[in-house]
Amino acid sequence: MNTNGKWGVKMAKQLLLIDGNSIMFRAFFAMHNQLERFTNQDGLHTAAIYGFKLMLDHVLAEYHPDAALVAFDAGKVTFRTQLFDDYKGSRDKTPSELTEQIPYVRRLVQDSGIQSYELSNYEADDIIGTLAQEADQAGYETTIITGDRDLTQLVTPQTTVAVTKKGVTQTKDYTPEYMQEKLGVTPVQYIDVKALMGDSSDNYPGVTKIGEKTAVSLIQEYGSLDGLYEHVQDMKPSKRKENLINEEKIARECQTLATIKRDAPVEVQLTDLTYQGPDQEALAELYRELNFQSFLSQMGVEAPVPTVKPVQYVELTADNLSLLDQFKTSLVFHLEMLEANYHLAQPVGFVLGRPDCWLVSRDINLLQKPEIKQLLANDGIKKDVFNAKAQLVALHRLGVSLHHVAFDLLLASYLLDTNENSDDLGLLAQVHDYHDVQPDEVVYGKGAKQAVPEDNEVFYTHLANKARAIYELRQPLFDQLKANEQLSLYTDIELPLSAVLAQMEIDGVMVKTSTLTQMQSQLTERLSELEQAIYQAAGEEFNINSTKQLGVILFEKLKLPVIKKTKTGYSTAVSVLEKLRDQAPVVDLILQYRQIAKIQSTYVTGLLKVIHPDDHKIHTRYLQTLTQTGRLSSVDPNLQNIPVRVEEGRRIRQAFVPSEAGWEIFSSDYSQVELRVLAHVSGDQNMQADFINGEDIHAATARRIFHLLPDEEVTPNMRRQAKAVNFGIVYGISDYGLAQNINVSPKQAKTFIESYFAEFPGVHDYTKSIVETARQQGYVETITHRRRYLPDIHAKNFNLRSFAERTAMNTPIQGSAADIIKIAMIRMGPALAAHHLQARMLLQIHDELVFEAPKEELATLRQVVTEVMDSAVKLSVPLKVESKVGPTWYDLKKIED
Instruction: Indicate if 729 and 606 belong to the same structural domain.
Output: no
Per-residue model confidence (pLDDT) at position 479 = 96
Instruction: Indicate if 832 and 877 belong to the same structural domain.
Output: yes
Instruction: Indicate if 45 and 72 belong to the same structural domain.
Output: yes
Secondary element (H or E) of residue 529: helix 513-538
| DSSP 8-state secondary structure symbol assigned to residue 610 | T
CA distance 378 to 399: 15
Residue pLDDT, tens place only, 610-625? 999 999 999 999 999 9
Instruction: Indicate if 587 and 717 belong to the same structural domain.
Output: no
Mean per-residue pLDDT over the chain, rounded: 90
Instruction: Indicate if 846 and 861 belong to the same structural domain.
Output: yes
| 699 or 255, which is more confident | 699
Residue 598 covered by a domain? yes
Domain boundary among 694, 728, 759: 759
Residue 57: CB atoms within 10 Å? 14
The CATH number of the domain holding residue 348 is 3.30.420.10
Paired strand residues for 852: 665, 840
Instruction: Indicate if 593 and 695 belong to the same structural domain.
Output: no
Q: What is the dihedral sign for C-alpha 619, 625, 627, 629? A: positive
In this predicted structure, the answer to whether residue 9 has a pLDDT above a threshold of 50 is: no
Domain boundary among 693, 728, 759: 759
CA atoms within 13 Å, Cβ hemisphere of 527: 17
Per-residue model confidence (pLDDT) at position 3 = 43
Per-residue model confidence (pLDDT) at position 80 = 74
Q: What are phi and psi of 226, to 5 degrees?
A: -60, -45
Residue 186 covered by a domain? no
Nearest to 385 by CA among 410, 362, 360: 410
Contacts (Cβ under 8 Å, ≥6 apart) of 818: 627, 629, 630, 631, 632, 782, 786
Per-residue model confidence (pLDDT) at position 302 = 61
- Mean pLDDT over residues 338-364, rounded? 96
206 contacts 186 by C-beta, under 8 angstroms: no
- Confidence band (pLDDT; 50, 70, 90) for 298? confident
Secondary element (H or E) of residue 719: helix 716-729
CA dihedral 20, 25, 31, 36 (to 10 degrees): 100
Q: How far is CA 98 from CA 25, 42, 45, 354, 708, in A?
A: 8, 15, 7, 38, 55
Residue pLDDT, tens place only, 528-587? 999 999 999 999 999 999 989 999 999 999 999 988 877 678 989 888 999 899 899 999
CA distance 588 to 545: 15
Residue 500 covered by a domain? no
Domain boundary among 577, 610, 643: 610
Instruction: Indicate if 171 and 49 belong to the same structural domain.
Output: yes
211 contacts 244 by C-beta, under 8 angstroms: no
CA distance 52 to 33: 16
The CATH number of the domain holding residue 543 is 1.20.1060.10
**Cis-peptide, bond into residue 637, ω within 30° of zero:** yes
pTM for the full model?
Answer: 0.72
| DSSP 8-state secondary structure symbol assigned to residue 34 | G
The share of the chain scoring above pLDDT 70, in percent, equals 94
Residue 304 covered by a domain? no
- Mean pLDDT over residues 604-609, rounded? 95
Residue pLDDT, tens place only, 847-870? 999 999 999 999 999 999 999 999
Is 520 buried (19+), middle (13-18) or exposed (0-12) by CB count in 10 A?
middle
Residue 147 covered by a domain? yes
Residue 287 covered by a domain? no
Residue pLDDT, tens place only, 433-447? 888 999 998 899 888
The CATH number of the domain holding residue 170 is 3.40.50.1010
Nearest to 191 by CA among 158, 156, 152, 234: 152
Residue pLDDT, tens place only, 126-165? 999 999 999 999 999 999 999 888 899 999 999 999 998 7
The mean-pLDDT minimum among 103-107, 282-286, 791-795 falls in 791-795
| 400 or 733, which is more confident | 400
Per-residue model confidence (pLDDT) at position 95 = 77
Nearest to 230 by CA among 248, 217, 209, 208: 248
Instruction: Indicate if 416 and 449 belong to the same structural domain.
Output: yes
The CATH number of the domain holding residue 789 is 3.30.70.370
Residue 350 covered by a domain? yes
Residue 488 covered by a domain? no
Instruction: Indicate if 666 and 572 belong to the same structural domain.
Output: no
Which residues span the domain enclosing 593? 512-610
Contacts (Cβ under 8 Å, ≥6 apart) of 598: none
CA distance 454 to 412: 33
Instruction: Indicate if 708 and 745 belong to the same structural domain.
Output: yes
Instruction: Indicate if 463 and 523 belong to the same structural domain.
Output: no
The number of folded domains in the chain is 5
Nearest to 124 by CA among 105, 143, 146: 146
Instruction: Indicate if 861 and 746 belong to the same structural domain.
Output: no
Per-residue model confidence (pLDDT) at position 730 = 79
Nearest to 695 by CA among 861, 878, 534, 424: 878
Per-residue model confidence (pLDDT) at position 85 = 57
Q: What are phi and psi of 3, to 5 degrees?
A: -95, -35
Residue 536: CB atoms within 10 Å? 13
